Amino acid sequence: MDYYRGHLSKQMEEESTSLSAFKNSPRPSSKHTTYFSVYDHLFRSYRGKKITLVEVGILNGGSLFMWREFFGPDARIIGVDLNPEVVKFREYGFEIFVGSQSDPNFWKEVTREIGSIDILIDDGGHNYIQQIVTAECTLENISDGGLLIVEDTHTSYLEGFGTASL
């Protein structure tokens, strides 16, 4: 689902590099309208550089392609998801790890293999326990000056996203 459709001004659409990358992705992705200007601002100094980006929660893979276009060919784009079917995105040059973001042992293995992370985007299960475990288990791997972005924190206040959905 494309959350941006019909909600952004023409000026914002023309100015947003991340929105353009989102729209050009060959796979679907869903992002809230307000994210694009934040992405453009927070990530501008990383564009065109050799960085490591990890995104938790890749669903249909659309954001993997979005980040590739946004950051450029030198970026190492890594996806983490619970669904084993996402390994198909390896054929496009993405590194993929399959496992539960609420499992510290999973993160121990993943962080050991990945090493230093410049940007980590948690767009995974949207459960506050999962978000906390992910932050706690990856924080030491985030490089000095790196970013940890936790999307959809509003779900902590929605029914169905409490500890019962782990």
C-alpha span between 134 and 82 (Å, rounded): 13
Cα 101-47-131 angle, rounded to 5 deg: 15
154 counts as catalytic: no
Rounded Cα distance, 66 and 22, in Å: 5
The residue from 7, 32, 41, 126 that is catalytic is 126
Token duo for residue 41: 């601002």
State the catalytic residues. Answer: 126
